[in-house]
Structure 1
Amino acid sequence: MKTKEQQEAEFRSFAVAQRESLRRYAYLLCGDWYEADDIVQKSLTKMFAAWKRVEPGGAPAYVRKIVTNVYISHRRLSWVRRERTSAELPTRQLDRPQEEVDVRLEVVAALERLPARQRATLVLRYWEQLSVDETATAMGCSTGTVKSQSSKGLRKLKELLTESAVLARA
Protein backbone atom coordinates (compact mmCIF):
# COMPACT_ATOMS: atom_id res chain seq x y z
CA MET A 1 0.00 0.00 0.00
CA LYS A 2 1.29 3.44 -0.91
CA THR A 3 1.90 6.09 1.67
CA LYS A 4 0.17 9.44 1.52
CA GLU A 5 3.45 11.07 0.47
CA GLN A 6 3.88 8.59 -2.40
CA GLN A 7 0.32 9.23 -3.61
CA GLU A 8 0.87 12.98 -3.46
CA ALA A 9 4.13 12.65 -5.39
CA GLU A 10 2.43 10.50 -8.05
CA PHE A 11 -0.39 13.00 -8.39
CA ARG A 12 2.02 15.93 -8.56
CA SER A 13 3.97 14.31 -11.43
CA PHE A 14 0.68 13.42 -13.19
CA ALA A 15 -0.59 17.01 -12.84
CA VAL A 16 2.66 18.50 -14.15
CA ALA A 17 2.66 16.12 -17.13
CA GLN A 18 -1.01 16.74 -18.02
CA ARG A 19 -1.49 20.43 -17.18
CA GLU A 20 -0.60 21.99 -20.56
CA SER A 21 -2.63 19.46 -22.52
CA LEU A 22 -5.62 20.00 -20.21
CA ARG A 23 -5.20 23.78 -20.46
CA ARG A 24 -5.29 23.67 -24.29
CA TYR A 25 -8.32 21.38 -24.17
CA ALA A 26 -10.12 23.67 -21.70
CA TYR A 27 -9.27 26.70 -23.85
CA LEU A 28 -10.82 25.06 -26.90
CA LEU A 29 -13.95 24.46 -24.86
CA CYS A 30 -14.31 27.91 -23.32
CA GLY A 31 -12.28 30.22 -25.59
CA ASP A 32 -10.65 32.12 -22.71
CA TRP A 33 -7.20 31.33 -21.29
CA TYR A 34 -8.07 32.63 -17.81
CA GLU A 35 -11.25 30.58 -17.62
CA ALA A 36 -9.32 27.58 -18.98
CA ASP A 37 -6.84 27.98 -16.12
CA ASP A 38 -9.73 28.07 -13.63
CA ILE A 39 -11.32 24.98 -15.18
CA VAL A 40 -8.06 23.04 -15.09
CA GLN A 41 -7.36 24.07 -11.49
CA LYS A 42 -10.83 22.97 -10.35
CA SER A 43 -10.49 19.74 -12.32
CA LEU A 44 -7.10 18.88 -10.85
CA THR A 45 -8.46 19.61 -7.38
CA LYS A 46 -11.33 17.17 -8.00
CA MET A 47 -8.90 14.67 -9.47
CA PHE A 48 -6.67 14.89 -6.39
CA ALA A 49 -9.67 14.15 -4.16
CA ALA A 50 -10.35 10.97 -6.19
CA TRP A 51 -6.70 10.04 -6.81
CA LYS A 52 -6.73 6.97 -4.50
CA ARG A 53 -9.59 5.44 -6.49
CA VAL A 54 -8.26 6.14 -10.00
CA GLU A 55 -6.37 3.55 -12.01
CA PRO A 56 -3.14 5.11 -13.34
CA GLY A 57 -3.84 4.00 -16.92
CA GLY A 58 -7.27 5.61 -16.92
CA ALA A 59 -6.25 8.84 -15.21
CA PRO A 60 -5.86 10.98 -18.38
CA ALA A 61 -9.31 10.01 -19.66
CA TYR A 62 -10.82 10.50 -16.21
CA VAL A 63 -9.36 13.98 -15.75
CA ARG A 64 -10.52 14.94 -19.28
CA LYS A 65 -14.04 13.90 -18.25
CA ILE A 66 -13.72 16.08 -15.15
CA VAL A 67 -12.57 19.03 -17.31
CA THR A 68 -15.58 18.53 -19.59
CA ASN A 69 -17.99 18.43 -16.65
CA VAL A 70 -16.44 21.49 -14.99
CA TYR A 71 -16.66 23.40 -18.29
CA ILE A 72 -20.34 22.49 -18.74
CA SER A 73 -21.01 23.49 -15.11
CA HIS A 74 -19.29 26.84 -15.72
CA ARG A 75 -21.61 27.47 -18.66
CA ARG A 76 -24.66 26.70 -16.56
CA LEU A 77 -23.72 29.20 -13.87
CA SER A 78 -24.96 32.61 -14.92
CA TRP A 79 -22.48 34.51 -12.75
CA VAL A 80 -19.54 32.83 -14.48
CA ARG A 81 -20.73 34.01 -17.85
CA ARG A 82 -19.31 37.42 -18.49
CA GLU A 83 -20.54 37.81 -22.04
CA ARG A 84 -23.11 40.39 -22.91
CA THR A 85 -25.78 39.55 -25.44
CA SER A 86 -26.08 41.74 -28.49
CA ALA A 87 -28.16 41.72 -31.62
CA GLU A 88 -25.02 42.15 -33.74
CA LEU A 89 -21.67 40.51 -33.49
CA PRO A 90 -18.71 42.85 -33.28
CA THR A 91 -16.70 42.97 -36.46
CA ARG A 92 -13.00 43.46 -36.43
CA GLN A 93 -10.37 43.23 -39.05
CA LEU A 94 -7.32 41.20 -38.25
CA ASP A 95 -4.07 42.62 -39.50
CA ARG A 96 -2.30 39.31 -39.87
CA PRO A 97 -0.59 38.24 -43.05
CA GLN A 98 -1.10 34.54 -42.37
CA GLU A 99 -4.50 33.55 -43.65
CA GLU A 100 -4.33 30.23 -41.78
CA VAL A 101 -4.17 32.10 -38.48
CA ASP A 102 -7.26 34.09 -39.43
CA VAL A 103 -9.10 30.92 -40.40
CA ARG A 104 -8.15 29.25 -37.11
CA LEU A 105 -9.38 32.27 -35.15
CA GLU A 106 -12.67 32.24 -37.04
CA VAL A 107 -13.14 28.55 -36.35
CA VAL A 108 -12.49 29.10 -32.62
CA ALA A 109 -14.90 32.06 -32.66
CA ALA A 110 -17.54 29.88 -34.32
CA LEU A 111 -16.94 27.15 -31.72
CA GLU A 112 -17.59 29.73 -28.98
CA ARG A 113 -21.07 30.30 -30.38
CA LEU A 114 -22.07 26.63 -30.06
CA PRO A 115 -23.94 25.32 -27.02
CA ALA A 116 -21.62 23.81 -24.38
CA ARG A 117 -22.43 20.14 -25.02
CA GLN A 118 -22.10 20.47 -28.81
CA ARG A 119 -18.81 22.28 -28.42
CA ALA A 120 -17.47 19.71 -25.96
CA THR A 121 -18.51 16.90 -28.30
CA LEU A 122 -16.81 18.45 -31.33
CA VAL A 123 -13.61 19.24 -29.44
CA LEU A 124 -13.41 15.72 -28.00
CA ARG A 125 -14.22 14.01 -31.31
CA TYR A 126 -12.28 16.11 -33.79
CA TRP A 127 -9.58 17.94 -31.81
CA GLU A 128 -8.75 15.29 -29.23
CA GLN A 129 -9.55 12.62 -31.87
CA LEU A 130 -11.53 10.40 -29.52
CA SER A 131 -13.84 7.71 -30.84
CA VAL A 132 -17.59 7.95 -30.33
CA ASP A 133 -17.34 5.51 -27.41
CA GLU A 134 -14.45 7.39 -25.80
CA THR A 135 -16.29 10.69 -26.20
CA ALA A 136 -19.41 9.21 -24.63
CA THR A 137 -17.34 8.01 -21.69
CA ALA A 138 -15.64 11.39 -21.31
CA MET A 139 -18.98 13.20 -21.37
CA GLY A 140 -20.89 10.65 -19.31
CA CYS A 141 -23.58 10.13 -21.95
CA SER A 142 -24.65 7.57 -24.54
CA THR A 143 -23.05 7.07 -27.94
CA GLY A 144 -26.34 8.15 -29.51
CA THR A 145 -26.07 11.49 -27.70
CA VAL A 146 -22.51 11.92 -28.98
CA LYS A 147 -23.65 11.21 -32.54
CA SER A 148 -26.60 13.61 -32.36
CA GLN A 149 -24.57 16.36 -30.66
CA SER A 150 -21.82 15.90 -33.28
CA SER A 151 -24.31 16.12 -36.11
CA LYS A 152 -26.05 19.20 -34.71
CA GLY A 153 -22.74 20.84 -33.80
CA LEU A 154 -21.19 20.25 -37.22
CA ARG A 155 -24.30 21.57 -38.96
CA LYS A 156 -24.32 24.73 -36.82
CA LEU A 157 -20.55 25.16 -37.20
CA LYS A 158 -20.91 24.91 -40.98
CA GLU A 159 -23.63 27.59 -40.91
CA LEU A 160 -21.49 29.88 -38.79
CA LEU A 161 -18.41 29.37 -40.93
CA THR A 162 -20.39 29.91 -44.13
CA GLU A 163 -21.55 33.25 -42.70
CA SER A 164 -17.92 34.23 -42.02
CA ALA A 165 -16.78 33.02 -45.46
CA VAL A 166 -14.18 30.59 -44.04
CA LEU A 167 -15.54 27.74 -46.12
CA ALA A 168 -15.30 29.84 -49.29
CA ARG A 169 -11.54 30.32 -48.68
CA ALA A 170 -10.84 26.68 -47.83
Structure 2
Amino acid sequence: MHQTTSGEDEFREYVLARGPALLRAAHQLTGHPLDAEDLLQNALAKTYLAWGRIEDRNALDGYVRRAMVNINISQWRRRKLEEYPSDELPEVVTHHETVTSDVHEELERALQELPERMRAAIVLRYYEDMTEPEIAKTLGISVGTVKSTVSRAMAKLRSALGLPR
Protein backbone atom coordinates (compact mmCIF):
# COMPACT_ATOMS: atom_id res chain seq x y z
CA MET A 1 0.00 0.00 0.00
CA HIS A 2 1.34 3.44 -0.97
CA GLN A 3 1.84 5.89 1.88
CA THR A 4 1.30 9.56 1.13
CA THR A 5 3.63 12.21 2.44
CA SER A 6 2.42 14.92 4.77
CA GLY A 7 2.86 17.42 1.90
CA GLU A 8 0.49 15.44 -0.30
CA ASP A 9 -2.03 15.26 2.53
CA GLU A 10 -1.66 18.98 3.17
CA PHE A 11 -2.16 19.74 -0.55
CA ARG A 12 -5.24 17.48 -0.68
CA GLU A 13 -6.73 19.23 2.37
CA TYR A 14 -6.04 22.62 0.81
CA VAL A 15 -7.78 21.65 -2.45
CA LEU A 16 -10.78 20.24 -0.58
CA ALA A 17 -11.10 23.37 1.56
CA ARG A 18 -10.43 26.05 -1.07
CA GLY A 19 -11.42 24.31 -4.31
CA PRO A 20 -14.97 25.72 -4.57
CA ALA A 21 -13.82 29.34 -4.06
CA LEU A 22 -10.96 28.89 -6.52
CA LEU A 23 -13.33 27.35 -9.06
CA ARG A 24 -15.60 30.41 -8.79
CA ALA A 25 -12.60 32.64 -9.50
CA ALA A 26 -11.64 30.46 -12.48
CA HIS A 27 -15.20 30.67 -13.80
CA GLN A 28 -15.11 34.46 -13.53
CA LEU A 29 -11.88 34.49 -15.54
CA THR A 30 -13.00 32.11 -18.28
CA GLY A 31 -16.76 32.67 -18.37
CA HIS A 32 -17.37 28.97 -19.03
CA PRO A 33 -17.74 26.16 -16.45
CA LEU A 34 -15.70 23.53 -18.32
CA ASP A 35 -12.94 25.99 -19.18
CA ALA A 36 -12.90 27.04 -15.52
CA GLU A 37 -12.42 23.44 -14.40
CA ASP A 38 -9.54 22.98 -16.85
CA LEU A 39 -7.96 26.26 -15.80
CA LEU A 40 -8.17 25.41 -12.09
CA GLN A 41 -6.82 21.91 -12.68
CA ASN A 42 -3.80 23.32 -14.57
CA ALA A 43 -3.17 25.91 -11.86
CA LEU A 44 -3.42 23.28 -9.12
CA ALA A 45 -0.98 21.04 -11.00
CA LYS A 46 1.53 23.92 -11.08
CA THR A 47 0.87 24.59 -7.40
CA TYR A 48 1.42 20.93 -6.52
CA LEU A 49 4.77 20.93 -8.31
CA ALA A 50 5.82 24.05 -6.37
CA TRP A 51 4.25 22.95 -3.06
CA GLY A 52 7.54 22.33 -1.27
CA ARG A 53 8.87 25.76 -2.26
CA ILE A 54 5.82 27.71 -1.05
CA GLU A 55 6.78 28.71 2.46
CA ASP A 56 3.90 31.07 3.26
CA ARG A 57 0.82 28.84 3.33
CA ASN A 58 -1.36 31.95 3.81
CA ALA A 59 -0.37 33.05 0.30
CA LEU A 60 -1.60 29.85 -1.39
CA ASP A 61 -4.82 31.35 -2.76
CA GLY A 62 -2.84 34.19 -4.31
CA TYR A 63 -0.36 31.73 -5.82
CA VAL A 64 -3.15 29.64 -7.39
CA ARG A 65 -5.04 32.72 -8.62
CA ARG A 66 -1.88 34.18 -10.15
CA ALA A 67 -1.24 30.82 -11.86
CA MET A 68 -4.80 30.84 -13.23
CA VAL A 69 -4.43 34.37 -14.59
CA ASN A 70 -1.05 33.57 -16.18
CA ILE A 71 -2.34 30.33 -17.75
CA ASN A 72 -5.46 32.09 -19.02
CA ILE A 73 -3.40 34.90 -20.55
CA SER A 74 -1.07 32.38 -22.22
CA GLN A 75 -4.07 30.57 -23.68
CA TRP A 76 -5.56 33.69 -25.22
CA ARG A 77 -2.22 34.77 -26.61
CA ARG A 78 -1.77 31.41 -28.35
CA ARG A 79 -5.31 31.09 -29.64
CA LYS A 80 -6.29 32.52 -32.99
CA LEU A 81 -9.21 34.90 -32.76
CA GLU A 82 -12.27 32.91 -33.69
CA GLU A 83 -14.63 35.35 -32.02
CA TYR A 84 -14.36 39.05 -32.58
CA PRO A 85 -15.28 41.44 -29.79
CA SER A 86 -18.10 43.84 -30.51
CA ASP A 87 -18.96 47.23 -29.11
CA GLU A 88 -22.58 46.15 -28.84
CA LEU A 89 -23.63 43.35 -26.54
CA PRO A 90 -26.55 41.12 -27.43
CA GLU A 91 -29.69 41.67 -25.39
CA VAL A 92 -29.76 39.35 -22.39
CA VAL A 93 -33.09 37.70 -21.52
CA THR A 94 -33.56 37.09 -17.80
CA HIS A 95 -36.23 35.55 -15.60
CA HIS A 96 -37.00 37.41 -12.39
CA GLU A 97 -37.43 34.92 -9.56
CA THR A 98 -35.52 36.71 -6.82
CA VAL A 99 -33.90 40.10 -7.08
CA THR A 100 -30.55 39.08 -5.56
CA SER A 101 -29.98 36.00 -7.68
CA ASP A 102 -31.23 37.79 -10.79
CA VAL A 103 -28.74 40.61 -10.38
CA HIS A 104 -25.95 38.11 -9.76
CA GLU A 105 -26.95 36.04 -12.81
CA GLU A 106 -27.21 39.14 -15.00
CA LEU A 107 -23.80 40.31 -13.85
CA GLU A 108 -22.30 36.87 -14.56
CA ARG A 109 -23.81 36.89 -18.06
CA ALA A 110 -22.60 40.43 -18.71
CA LEU A 111 -19.11 39.47 -17.53
CA GLN A 112 -19.09 36.50 -19.89
CA GLU A 113 -19.91 38.78 -22.81
CA LEU A 114 -16.86 40.99 -22.20
CA PRO A 115 -13.73 40.40 -24.27
CA GLU A 116 -11.20 38.30 -22.34
CA ARG A 117 -8.79 41.10 -21.40
CA MET A 118 -11.66 43.26 -20.10
CA ARG A 119 -13.08 40.34 -18.11
CA ALA A 120 -9.66 39.55 -16.64
CA ALA A 121 -9.12 43.21 -15.66
CA ILE A 122 -12.54 43.42 -13.97
CA VAL A 123 -12.08 40.12 -12.13
CA LEU A 124 -8.62 41.09 -10.92
CA ARG A 125 -9.73 44.59 -9.89
CA TYR A 126 -13.08 43.95 -8.25
CA TYR A 127 -13.07 40.25 -7.35
CA GLU A 128 -9.40 39.85 -6.43
CA ASP A 129 -8.99 43.45 -5.18
CA MET A 130 -5.71 43.96 -7.02
CA THR A 131 -4.28 47.43 -7.59
CA GLU A 132 -3.89 48.85 -11.09
CA PRO A 133 -0.08 48.35 -11.05
CA GLU A 134 -0.57 44.72 -9.93
CA ILE A 135 -3.08 44.15 -12.73
CA ALA A 136 -0.73 45.77 -15.25
CA LYS A 137 2.10 43.47 -14.21
CA THR A 138 -0.14 40.39 -14.22
CA LEU A 139 -1.63 41.10 -17.66
CA GLY A 140 1.60 42.44 -19.15
CA ILE A 141 0.10 45.82 -20.06
CA SER A 142 0.64 49.41 -18.93
CA VAL A 143 -1.19 50.99 -15.98
CA GLY A 144 -2.85 53.40 -18.43
CA THR A 145 -4.15 50.45 -20.45
CA VAL A 146 -5.50 48.89 -17.24
CA LYS A 147 -7.34 52.12 -16.41
CA SER A 148 -8.88 52.48 -19.86
CA THR A 149 -9.72 48.76 -20.07
CA VAL A 150 -11.46 48.77 -16.69
CA SER A 151 -13.29 51.99 -17.56
CA ARG A 152 -14.55 50.62 -20.90
CA ALA A 153 -15.47 47.29 -19.29
CA MET A 154 -17.45 49.01 -16.54
CA ALA A 155 -19.30 51.09 -19.17
CA LYS A 156 -20.19 47.88 -21.06
CA LEU A 157 -21.35 46.20 -17.83
CA ARG A 158 -23.49 49.22 -16.87
CA SER A 159 -25.02 49.25 -20.32
CA ALA A 160 -25.67 45.49 -20.29
CA LEU A 161 -27.32 45.77 -16.87
CA GLY A 162 -29.34 48.85 -17.83
CA LEU A 163 -27.62 51.02 -15.22
CA PRO A 164 -26.97 54.76 -15.61
CA ARG A 165 -23.45 55.71 -16.66
TM-score band (shorter)? 0.7 to 0.9
Q: Which residue of 2 aligns with 1:127?
A: 127
CA contact under 8 A between 1:118 and 1:152: conserved in structure 2?
A: no
TM-score (norm 1): 0.73
Q: Which residue of 1 aligns with 2:41?
A: 41
Task: Count residues in correspondence.
Answer: 161
The two structures, once aligned, show a CA RMSD in angstroms of 3.3
Task: Tell me the CA shift for residue 98 of structure 1.
Answer: 3.2
Task: Tell me the CA shift for residue 135 of structure 1.
Answer: 4.7
2:160 paired with 1:167: no
In structure 1, C-alpha distance between the alignment counterparts of 2:39 and 2:13, rounded to whole Å: 19
Q: CA 1:45/1:112 → structure 2, altered by over 3 Å: closer, same or farther?
A: same
Unaligned runs of 5+ in 2: none
In structure 1, C-alpha distance between the alignment counterparts of 2:54 and 2:116, rounded to whole Å: 26
Q: Which residue of 2 aligns with 1:11?
A: 11
In structure 2, C-alpha distance between the alignment counterparts of 1:29 and 1:114, rounded to whole Å: 11
The 5 A counterparts of 1:10-159 are 10-55=10-55, 56-78=57-79, 84=83, 90-132=90-132, 135=135, 139=138, 145=142, 147-159=143-155
CA contact under 8 A between 1:28 and 1:123: conserved in structure 2?
A: yes
In structure 1, C-alpha distance between the alignment counterparts of 2:92 and 2:117, rounded to whole Å: 28
In structure 2, C-alpha distance between the alignment counterparts of 1:43 and 1:121, rounded to whole Å: 19
CA contact under 8 A between 2:111 and 2:157: conserved in structure 1?
A: no
148-157 or 18-27, larger mean C-alpha shift: 148-157
Task: Tell me the CA shift for residue 38 of structure 1.
Answer: 0.8
In structure 1, C-alpha distance between the alignment counterparts of 2:140 and 2:145, rounded to whole Å: 11
CA contact under 8 A between 2:132 and 2:146: conserved in structure 1?
A: no
In structure 2, C-alpha distance between the alignment counterparts of 1:153 and 1:91, rounded to whole Å: 22
> Runs of 4+ in structure 1 displaced over 6 angstroms?
none
Q: CA 1:151/1:110 → structure 2, altered by over 3 Å: closer, same or farther?
A: farther
Task: Tell me the CA shift for residue 19 of structure 1.
Answer: 0.8
TM-score (norm 2): 0.75
Task: Tell me the CA shift for residue 33 of structure 1.
Answer: 1.2
Unaligned runs of 5+ in 1: none
Task: Tell me the CA shift for residue 42 of structure 1.
Answer: 0.8
